[in-house]
Amino acid sequence: MTEKDLSKKEMELQKRLEQVKALEQDIKNREKTVRDKEKAKKQVLLRLSPSLWNDLARWADEDFRSINGQIEFLLSEAVRRHKKS
């Protein structure tokens, strides 16, 4: 391999490295956007009967979610279905 070939390979690698760095920055920016949106969630006080709480807790555990995550999922699904009808 000549010095010219090595220089060309080095330039190609440098370009790839710059592309990887740009992709990493894009991922970081997207993650920050998601975190910022998550922080913007509204809090709601919700009173539930103990039996409903227990049922939701079991269901959330089956779906590998927190109880809050399960409630949010169920509400999102209900809204999505309502919009379709």
* pLDDT tier at 4, thresholds 50, 70, 90: confident
**42-81 per-position pLDDT tens digit:** 889 999 999 999 999 999 999 999 999 999 999 999 999 9
CA separation for the pair 48, 43 (Å, rounded): 16
CA separation for the pair 19, 14 (Å, rounded): 9
Percent share of the chain, pLDDT over 70 = 100
**5-56 per-position pLDDT tens digit:** 888 899 999 999 999 999 999 999 999 998 888 888 888 999 999 999 999 9
Find out whether 13 and 21 touch, Cβ atoms under 8 Å: no
Range of the domain at 73: 43-85
Are both 30 and 52 inside the same structural domain?
A: no
Instruction: Identify the pLDDT of residue 84.
Output: 93
CA separation for the pair 15, 39 (Å, rounded): 36
Are both 51 and 74 inside the same structural domain?
A: yes
Domains: count for the chain:
2
Are both 13 and 37 inside the same structural domain?
A: yes
CATH number (domain holding residue 70): 1.10.1220
CA dihedral 47, 51, 55, 61 (to 10 degrees): 80
